[in-house]
Structure 1
């Protein structure tokens, strides 16, 4: 149970911290993308200003003046005179054809307050952003340029911005590396801290387990002596009725305590991981008949009907520990007998297919409440809150669950139609 709690807390803490780190990195990446856009916008505006100065001062050699900037920064330039004739146009491809982009620019410029009219000085027509046909984005600055010799030009400058994919390809690897390094550090650190915090509790639990194992071993011998002596008194010594009842009570309680010690030794060996498995190929039909023959006299004594449902076809051979499987089914049978009403039915069923085989013990007794179902396999848990049933210690089902896990199976409980409980253990067939 402590290991399960440790794993859950480890996952919870590591996931929480990594979620926070992920959110922080996501915010940083988003801020980086935004900053990159601002930097591109600033750079484009400054370069456009330089290009306008070049056109103002070098109208006679415009090609040479503009080509150097365009090759270095990939800025598209279109220069027209006042009559609409093209004086200069850049020649490098965009994902969207330049004519389509210029058409969109003209449509946006026509809606702006500043129109392309001649003015006494050079002026810019604002800062625009347009989208192409292939998810490409462009910054646009229209301008009216008056040169030193009073020649007026209408200019349009375009700059393709870096796409989100381009920005992420450039910045994301370093952030992913930081994320993975942080993940490793968080996992190691939380594991170390949880181990430190769980160490005192683990020591206490281990000391309790050691005590239970030692006490159970020490109790075996005196219990065996007490049982043998009470049997001798009952068989060979003449006793009055009151003394005989007292000895019988002692014998009953000794047997009850002996079963408790046996169960505690089983759980102690489970905690110490000393349970051994002796797997062999078993005949399921033979196992079921043995189980039926073992419990038929007990059921008859308790006024219960026991029914074994066998398939007409033989069940597939099963590789498992026969004694451990039989022990699980015995726990189911004991539980069913304890909680069945007089003259009710207990059924043993098996369902097998190519992949799995499931053993079920069905009783038609008082059933188990939904509240008790989630705790029914816990150690020392009993649905009988008044503890009137002295033969039930609340260990049988917990032992069955641990044995099932050892055999790589699953154990479940369901309600029986009409009342009662159905315990099922399922194993894979290999």
Structure 2
């Protein structure tokens, strides 16, 4: 499913970015070509103006000058003295241009009103016109037709500028844009593949965790259900005394299922953002004392020593959800008592380090192996030793971590000097009720 989604998102992203890139490239290319065409036409007009001024001022026309202008301006020049072609025309031009020349003369006469065959009596001032046309040979041309009065009659001139050079430049520019766009599209496709992969990765991991959560929850629920069903079947044929024992088993397993479902609903609320906290001023030392008193008797019954360390000076009220923080302490203390052997020591402490309050639950149990530390906050994770403990499902630390996160704090594991595990709750000391409104998802 995710592989198909990854491919579809890659194609979509690459297609959209490619269309945008191609569109901008076409716009830029069009603007560039229009500017180049305008510049080329202006240069052509300037060259024609310069040549006409020179022809008006000269009584004789230099063959060398004509060759120079032809080469420098890329022009085909045709001159007629009183309607008769000059010798330069036949020497320097191929007969293939004859049809194009006739087409230019006809276009100048019919479309621009300039008759190059007019007699000298009709020509008093210099007349000229410039235009573009597609020649009969399929090529594009800039054309200038001119009539220049002279003392001995009239000089007719036709200048043809073939646009093959400009078109070749346009073609090279288009190929360059095409190559750049093609390379950019390939790079964008590769980028889209990795980019969409990174976008999908959290979804894939979330899906994986969800499937693992469902599988673990199903496994945890199957065990008490199996016991309940077996006990119900046994009650049908059991004696009264035995039936009462089976009834206690069913009640115990039902309570166990209720705790598991409660924990699962708590985590579901954290996942969908429906959790809320009620911040209010709380005395942290009082909060720790209440947790200590709650677990002191339990620790004594298990043969453990529970101690508490608090600052000697009076503490200012701290804005937090007291019930939620007490829940975190209960989870950590219950977890410590589950792993600490009989005769062990558990320490509950509070201190201020810099601008943070540090709440610690420290035990001298077996500790947590280094390779397992990355997993202890995962759902349904339990050390192998506690797999048989029906009171724990591996959800407590996940719940505690979510509560601490809502308080913009951190819950992490540290080593206990001499062996054991220390869970540290680090809370910012400067939170206000207004700050919490930004914390809740």
TM-score, normalising length: structure 1: 0.47
Q: Which has the larger radius of gyration?
A: 2
